[in-house]
Homo-oligomer: A and B are copies of this chain.
Amino acid sequence: MSKKLTKRAEDYSKWYNELVVKADLAENSAVRGCMVIKPYGYAIWEKMQAELDRMFKETGHENAYFPLFVPKSLFEAEEKNAEGFAKECAVVTHYRLQNDPDRPGKLRVDPEAKLEEELVVRPTSEAIIWNTYKGWIQSYRDLPLLINQWANVVRWEMRTRLFLRTAEFLWQEGHTAHATKSEAVTESRQMQDVYATFAENFMAMPVIKGVKSDSERFAGAEDTYTIEALMQDGKALQAGTSHFLGQNFAKAFDVKFTSKEGKQEYVWATSWGVSTRLIGGLIMTHSDDLGLVLPPKLAPIQVAIVPIYKGEDQLEAISKKVNVIVKELREKGISVKFDTRDTFRPGAKFAEYELKGVPVRIAIGNRDLENNTVEVARRDTLEKQTYSQDNVVEVVANLLEEIQENLFKKAIDFRAAHTTEVTTFDEFKDAIENKGGFVSAHWDGTEATEDKIKELTKATIRCIPNDAKEELGVCVFTGKPSSKRVFFAKAY
């Protein structure tokens, strides 16, 4: 495989696919649509998990684990949810293999080991979880129930792409139960905020918070709150969703509680999730034609140090200096790799860390030893500068913060430059087709108009922004009255 990446301007999609593989993040597996997440990619996921998990716990949630399988009778209990996922679910029908009498050394399904009831591999866990909650909730004292699960789920997607859309993916799914509607709505909006904070503060990926239109809502939800990010090719990415589920699942699974007033009432529900898709969003927000660009807060290696030397003596002298720097950086909680491999030249190492998006690279050679200096290169701007060894630790610590901020600012600027307010449908089409990005437009609120616009432009309503101002206008397509602008975009 050539080391050279396709350029984004040439073929963005190809650039992405190549980058994921070349940067050692993930690869396709022998199972259609399922990926292997390689150690470097998984290390990013671990960093994401750690921060999200902390945020969930800080907002009062506990982790638990529910079965991978959903018996068909439970799966079909909440009709809209079932309808939404039935078309793309993996189904276990048998529990044994046996030797194939026709093909020696091969196995076949044992026809006598057919399950009485088929098991669906969870595409999402509302059904199995609400069936469980029925046993956990009797009284208002049992509420709220604030639970999260880290798990794998399977959706049999026909067109898959590494991280963005895979048949199996890793995610977290929060499932909460509440005594009142308003508490459940508050919870679902709180988790939207948590996701937005994570996206912006850790991924350096600005997002628009909004609510989905009817047609884009989660199957079985009353309202779906979303965070929408903008990728460098002008397409939007739904990065996380939080659903207010009303009493739909409580009714489907007959989950009632005795209120303080002694009445039997159905429980109110939310669910919310983000997945390994976030890694796709991270890549497409910041990376460039040379490779990955990772925000320092999620980079598995924040600083790579490359010695430039001839012979063991020089390496030893350099190592002596570097080991002190490494120790001090680690004491500040900075992850450092001192790359002393003798199987690669410095140039190859530079290219590797560029490809892998390591935020800061330090080079140190013989002349640096003489001058008490190091060369510090930042991945985001590719700038290099020489610093004294005496304050390199402080320089690097500050630089990591600066890079984090710079990446966010750059992404904010990109989004601002690719968000267009339009009044006419010609302007709408022009913005979607020629400029890309978000298009803010009035819409008459009907699904028919939404469908028609999608048919003509491939753009969908990404969300009705939380902070949309009341503004009298007319629908960009039908001319009917509208009171709010919504965000359209082509999307992943």
Contacts and interface: CB of A to CB of B under 8 A. Distances in A.
A466 interface: no
A30 B64 contact: no
A406 B272 CA distance: 43
A214 interface: no
B96 A86 contact: yes
Contacts of A90: 69, 92, 94-95, 119
9 contacts: A29-B128, A30-B128, A31-B69, A31-B70, A39-B62, A43-B63, A68-B154, A92-B121, A93-B109
A62 B76 contact: no
A308 B95 CA distance: 54
A67 B35 contact: yes
A82 B88 CA distance: 28
Contacts of A132: 27, 29-30, 36
A30 B147 contact: no
A66 interface: yes
A138 B109 CA distance: 35
Given A31-B128, A36-B65, 16 more contacts: A29-B128, A31-B67, A35-B67, A36-B132, A37-B64, A38-B64, A39-B147, A43-B62, A43-B63, A45-B65, A69-B168, A76-B106, A88-B96, A91-B93, A92-B121, A96-B156
A347 interface: no
Interface string A4-39: 000000000000000000000001011100111111
A96 B156 CA distance: 8
A448 to B, nearest CB: 25
Contacts of A118: 109
Interface of A is mostly: mixed
Contacts of A141: 343
Interface in A73-99: 74-76, 79, 82, 86-98
Contacts of A69: 31, 34, 90, 168
A67 B168 contact: yes
A46 interface: yes
Nearest to A37: B65
A132 B119 CA distance: 28
A36 B66 contact: yes
A71 interface: yes
Given A68-B152, A76-B106, A107-B86, A94 B96 contact: no
A65 B96 contact: no
A120 interface: yes
A42 B68 contact: no
Contact of A36 (B29, B64, B71): B64
A290 interface: no
Closest 8 CB pairs of A and B: A39-B62, A34-B67, A37-B65, A86-B97, A95-B156, A91-B94, A31-B67, A93-B93
Nearest to A151: B152
A170 interface: yes
A118 B119 CA distance: 15
Interface string A432-443: 000000000000
B36 A67 contact: yes
Contact of A97 (B67, B95, B120, B170): B120
A95 B91 CA distance: 6
B65 A86 contact: no
A466 to B, nearest CB: 31
Contacts of A311: none
A72 interface: yes
B68 A168 contact: yes
Contacts of A156: 95-96
Given A132-B29, A343-B141, A34 B68 contact: yes
